[in-house]
Amino acid sequence: MLARSSTAALAGIEAYPVQVEVDLAPGLPALVIVGLADAAVQESRERVRSALRNSGLRLPLSRVIVSLAPADRRKQGPSFDLPIALALACASGQLEPARLEGIWCCGELGLDGQLRPIRGALSIALAAQRAGARALLVPQANGPEARLISGLEVRPVSSLCEALEALQPDYTPSPLQPSSDTPQPTPIPVDLQEIQGQAHGRRALEIAAAGGHHLLLVGPPGCGKTLLAQSLAGLLPPLSPPEQLEITQLYSVAGELEQLGGLIRTRPFRSPHHSCSSAALLGGGSCPRPGELALAHRGVLFLDELGEFRRDVLNQLRQPLEQGTLRLSRAKQQLHYPCCISLVAATNPCPCGWYGDPEHDCSCTTSERQRYWGRLSGPLLDRIDLQVVMQRVPAQVLRQGYSASSARRPPESTACASQRIQQARLRMKQRNPGAGSNHRLSARDLRDTGAFSQDTLALWEQVMAARALSARSGQRLLSVARTIADLNGDDQVGPQAVAEALTYRSFTA
Ligand SMILES: [Zn+2]
């Protein structure tokens, strides 16, 4: 007897429909799974067998063949347990086939028949809704995320027995739990009002937020690099509902949503440690999942102590930073994770940290400093449009921050700066609706819509020649100048904008 159930498998952050077919054939009792199933899916045999037995269901005394279709795409992970168990119950006459019609299901089974949460339930719910599923059975813990998809009936269940009950005609799904305000992946971004001094760094941060440019902060320990980085997410415009859903999907696929709860509404801020592996930063592994880069999608990736990161790991960042998509090749499949991020990298100016500081002596030799800078991947630096050298804030300026006197003028707040940034972004959008931000403008976009005056281009040409800049660096310079003009509310880019842009290119040729 043949029975079928519907589920989905993950590929990147999307899920595609998978049909589970179970056939009982004459022969010695055995359970065989076919259809490009990986090790975790193969282990499903043992889990399903025990779960059925411990849930009071019979195991058929025949040869059981389980097929996962389409057979040419690799299936990973334990989420097929529930659809296999239900199709098996159906094939052995313990569940009416009509009960599974139009129903999708997913979930990992424990040996006792309890259901464990899976990764990517949100993407599976989306696939079920698109396919016109009547309802979706998910493990209890995945219920809140699956219910983010409107137009799909979600039935959260905690065990195989409950799943069988949820398939009965008289079943009514439990009402939606009022979603409490869930923790978000980021602490609230630091407000610019909390940062004393650092005018140059603040301006660079504003340009980065407006134009989507990447930023490098160079300065001695304690000068406030981390605080500046932490304030960037707050300067970016609020996320649109489709962006919120996309980010939530990434966290669901990474298995990080359970701790966070429902919809992610704030821009992520990720700061991986410099000792992190290539898999942790970029994602992948035998059961592929997004890494820190993709988890920072539409938010900020902060790489503190850039020089301490492994060079080969940094080199792997170059292409995804350029394209906004991370492509991974894993056994027989190509995976894509979106990663449109704002990169903020920070580093000390030298190994001891004090080079250029007016009050401390640098104890490094010239060759030590050169080696240190050599470690910072040249090609990655070339992709960072804004490079800022910071000094420690003088005590006199810091003092003002603690002064209760009414004469104290607090630094400008994030809310104030955000208004300028929104205005600048609006100008960009009107000029280049497709590009998203000035950082993404091609050479052709810059030529056709950049509005550079002849004076500006003459100055730019001089700078290019005097500093022997590469064509790429020259283009980056123009795109930053365009953002500066947008922040200043200028239609045309004047020479001053190029001159200012040049102050943010200290390290690349
Ligand atoms: Zn030093």
* CATH code (residue 143): 3.30.230.10
Judged by phi (left if over 0) then psi (alpha if -120 to 50, else beta), residue 501 lies in alpha
Structure tokens given for 255: 């298995």
pLDDT at 141 over 60: yes
Which residues contact residue 72 at a Cβ distance below 8 angstroms, ignoring those fewer than 6 apart? 36
Q: What's the mean pLDDT when you consider all of the chain?
A: 89
pLDDT at 185 over 80: no
Least confident stretch, 23-32, 63-72, 395-404: 395-404
Q: Residue 262 Cα, ligand 1 centroid: separation in angstroms?
A: 47
pLDDT at 189 over 90: no
Is the residue at 464 inside a domain?
Answer: no
Q: Does 358 lie in the same domain as 251? A: yes
Across the range 107-127, mean pLDDT stands at 95
* Residue 101: exposure state from Cβ atoms within 10 A (0-12, 13-18, ≥19): exposed
Q: Residue 369 Cα, ligand 1 centroid: separation in angstroms?
A: 7
Q: Residue 228 Cα, ligand 1 centroid: separation in angstroms?
A: 23
Is the residue at 13 inside a domain?
Answer: yes
Q: Residue 235 Cα, ligand 1 centroid: separation in angstroms?
A: 33
Q: Does 141 lie in the same domain as 198? A: no
Q: Residue 476 Cα, ligand 1 centroid: separation in angstroms?
A: 30
Q: Does 212 lie in the same domain as 102? A: no
Q: Are 345 and 225 in contact (CB under 8 A)?
A: no
Q: Residue 225 Cα, ligand 1 centroid: separation in angstroms?
A: 18
Q: Does 337 lie in the same domain as 216? A: yes
The pLDDT of residue 285 is 75
Which is more confident, 328 or 401? 328
The pLDDT of residue 301 is 96
pLDDT at 127 over 70: yes
pLDDT at 260 over 60: yes
Q: Does 340 lie in the same domain as 230? A: yes
Which is more confident, 108 or 287? 108
Band (156; pLDDT cuts 50, 70, 90):
very high
Q: Residue 499 Cα, ligand 1 centroid: separation in angstroms?
A: 29
The pLDDT of residue 175 is 67
The pLDDT of residue 176 is 61
pTM score of the predicted model: 0.90
The pLDDT of residue 59 is 86
The pLDDT of residue 454 is 93
Is the residue at 373 inside a domain?
Answer: yes
How distant is the alpha carbon of residue 255 from its chain centre?
A: 13
Q: Residue 355 Cα, ligand 1 centroid: separation in angstroms?
A: 5
The pLDDT of residue 509 is 42
Whole-angstrom distance between the N-terminal and C-terminal Cα of the chain?
Answer: 71
Q: Does 318 lie in the same domain as 382? A: yes
Alpha carbon of 357 to those of 104, 226, 386, 398: distances in Å? 63, 18, 21, 17
Is the residue at 488 inside a domain?
Answer: no
Q: Residue 371 Cα, ligand 1 centroid: separation in angstroms?
A: 12
Helix, strand, or coil (residue 82): helix
Pairing of strands 342-347, 325-330: unpaired
Ranges assigned E (strand) in 70-178: 103-105, 108-109, 115-116, 135-139, 153-157
Q: Are 232 and 208 in contact (CB under 8 A)?
A: yes
CATH of the domain at 363: 3.40.50.300
Across the range 198-213, mean pLDDT stands at 94
pLDDT at 84 over 90: yes
The span from the CA of 445 to the CA of 431, in Å, is: 10
Structure tokens given for 48: 């399903």
The pLDDT of residue 296 is 96
Q: Residue 375 Cα, ligand 1 centroid: separation in angstroms?
A: 15
Q: Does 110 lie in the same domain as 156? A: yes
Q: Which domain holds residue 311?
A: 192-396+410-416
pLDDT at 44 over 80: yes
Q: Does 93 lie in the same domain as 7? A: yes
Q: Residue 351 Cα, ligand 1 centroid: separation in angstroms?
A: 5
Is the residue at 6 inside a domain?
Answer: yes
Q: Residue 158 Cα, ligand 1 centroid: separation in angstroms?
A: 58
